[in-house]
Structure 1
């Protein structure tokens, strides 16, 4: 089996916000672009791996929140790599429509009183727009795996599923206290915002059923399959209640 090196890039301290670099046998893919101004931290990670911007073959943006899409336009300019995203969030990437937020608890409600989630970023049109339940295979970009639609956090959320049985799921799940990194790093939690928790639970179960064993996310992590299953089942129980 071909291996993929997953490099977690801390955009904020204590893994409160992460981007990830996938180094495959034939290429390199960036998953998420962090907040506006994150390009310097991403470049530092590239240099550490003896890579340059031109080694990035694809930029995958898991969803349109500013802490994932904030530096996408500038990184595309530096690397020349296309941006892949889902049509469900397209109106947010091009700023045709502002994001809306559904808090999952007190922290999310508090967060909405700060300017962070409303911070503007350079608008862009994705070069590759995933449609509906379309799956795009990543071998052509040098990494064995695929991108699929995993809605629930936002309508256009997507995940990267690697042949190594590891998944990069953006904000389908988070871990730790508050935003990911202080304590209980191996304990799954809901992110501060979530449009449809039941849909998230369904998508996490689908990923587990497909064989995914380790989950990497935008806030905290990584988490193993058992903890993800526990969290997914708790989300599914919300509908029954």
Structure 2
């Protein structure tokens, strides 16, 4: 199977938010769908690669935050492709529960108050629903790789690991100053929200040990394996941040200590 190319699709400026298109010889796999209303940007990216919506064979949603799942329902209509996601985030995809957030930085509550993380999106039920620790072969969709459950950022986080040594990890790691930003793009950091840093550490180290060489994420990047390992080892010292609900940023788990990490 030919080596696929990976294209980052800008959703917000400066690498703050992007999704990814894996372009193979027999089809394209879209990893994440951006914020609500991102389908035009994704359509333009497909055209730049000589493809259209109907060339998308599969949509992988790495987790239920609005900047990753926001356009999933609409893109399924446009492409006819099934959506793959994990059952751990199903209540949020179907909008039966409001998302809660464990903040990882001092500015996390301010970010929540901006309203951006709570932007609503159309509910959807994934066509392919992974269960705990499951992996899914992508070769029937024209890509040499697997989608795999990698919890830690959220309970239902999913990553894509390719035979080329590329890993598309959603928000397991970020880089740059404030969601990608203009500087320190090659320096790994925690995303604004992170449920379980210990679990994230284990997943990232496992991917590095398995031979993943380049890590593509939703905010900043890409990063090399050595930088991801350094960051993953630093997470072993961290505790979960304070958990906030979606009603006026109210803390729902005051026993958690808020920590900021600069590593």
Normalized against structure 2, the TM-score is what? 0.89
1:26 shift after superposition:
1.6
Normalized per residue, the structure richer in helix is: 1
1:25 shift after superposition:
2.1
Give the corresponding residue for 1:72.
72
Q: Residue by residue, what CA displacement relative to the aligned partner does 1:217-238 show, whole Å, maximum 9, x if unpaired?
A: 0000000001000000000133
1:184 shift after superposition:
0.5
Q: Residue by residue, what CA displacement relative to the aligned partner does 1:101-149 show, whole Å, maximum 9, x if unpaired?
A: 0110122121011111111000000000011111101000001100001
Structure 1 vs Structure 2 CA RMSD: 0.9
Give the corresponding residue for 1:133.
133
In 2, distance between residues paired with 1:48 and 1:10? 13
Q: Residue by residue, what CA displacement relative to the aligned partner does 1:48-102 show, whole Å, maximum 9, x if unpaired?
A: 1110100000000000000000000000000000000000000100011110001
2:212 is aligned with 1:212: yes
In 2, distance between residues paired with 1:35 and 1:238? 29
Q: Which runs of 4+ in 1 moved over 3 A?
A: none
Give the corresponding residue for 2:228.
228
In 2, distance between residues paired with 1:48 and 1:164? 22
* Contact map agreement 1:14 1:181 (CA 8 A) in 2: yes
In 2, distance between residues paired with 1:235 and 1:216? 19
In 1, distance between residues paired with 2:14 and 2:4? 24
Give the corresponding residue for 1:181.
181
2:87 is aligned with 1:87: yes
1:21 shift after superposition:
0.3
In 2, distance between residues paired with 1:233 and 1:227? 10
For structure 1, list consecutive stretches of 5 or more residues without a partner in the other structure.
none
In 2, distance between residues paired with 1:91 and 1:121? 13
For residues 23-172 of structure 1, what are the structure 2 equivalents within 5 Å? Answer: 23-172=23-172
In 1, distance between residues paired with 2:188 and 2:124? 32
Higher mean displacement: 177-186 or 53-62: 177-186
Aligned residues: 239
SS in 2 for 1:112: helix
1:42 shift after superposition:
0.2
SS in 2 for 1:238: coil
In 1, distance between residues paired with 2:189 and 2:2? 31
1:165 shift after superposition:
0.5
For structure 2, list consecutive stretches of 5 or more residues without a partner in the other structure.
240-263
Higher mean displacement: 99-108 or 64-73: 99-108
SS in 2 for 1:237: coil
2:15 is aligned with 1:15: yes
